[in-house]
């Protein structure tokens, strides 16, 4: 038994909730190719993703948010690695002094 066209059209998920200062209801459906979204509450991704849409009060779609989180995670890891290397360098200088810091025995 195959699927039939039931005549049901796209319904905006946000028809009953406030999105920032945008009131619920009054949704306007927009069709661009196979893309269907509510132009009152949603917009195409402002970061240029090919198939991304997000709420108007957000800065990007979920793939953009995931990319930003991964980038910040990588930056934090590099910073922590640099701090650890500096700490190891200070410890090594203290515990293994060079020839100039050692007292000469006569």
Q: What distance in Å separates the CA atoms of residue 43 and residue 55, rounded to the nearest whole number?
A: 6
The pLDDT value recorded for residue 2 is 45
The CA-CA-CA angle for residues 74, 79, 80, to 5°, reads 95
Q: What is the pLDDT of residues 29-74, one digit of tens each?
A: 888 777 777 777 777 777 777 667 777 777 777 777 788 889 999 9
The pLDDT value recorded for residue 24 is 80
Q: What is the pLDDT of residues 3-33, one digit of tens each?
A: 555 555 556 776 777 777 778 878 888 887 7
Q: What distance in Å separates the CA atoms of residue 66 and residue 39, rounded to the nearest whole number?
A: 24
The pLDDT value recorded for residue 103 is 65
DSSP H or E run through 93: helix 62-95
Q: What mean pLDDT do residues 75-92 have?
A: 90
Question: What is the model's pTM?
Answer: 0.45
The pLDDT value recorded for residue 105 is 66
């Amino acid at each position: 038994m195959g699927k039939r066209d039931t005549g049901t059209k796209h319904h905006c998920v946000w028809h009953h909730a406030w999105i920032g200062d945008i009131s619920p209801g009054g949704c306007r459906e927009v069709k661009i190719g196979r893309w269907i979204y509510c132009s009152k509450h949603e917009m195409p991704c402002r970061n240029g993703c090919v198939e991304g849409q997000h709420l108007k009060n957000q800065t990007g779609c979920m793939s953009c948010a995931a990319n930003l989180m991964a980038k910040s995670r990588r930056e934090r890891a590099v910073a922590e690695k640099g701090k650890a290397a500096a700490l190891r360098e200070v410890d090594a200088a203290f515990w293994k002094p060079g020839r100039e810091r050692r007292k000469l025995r006569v």
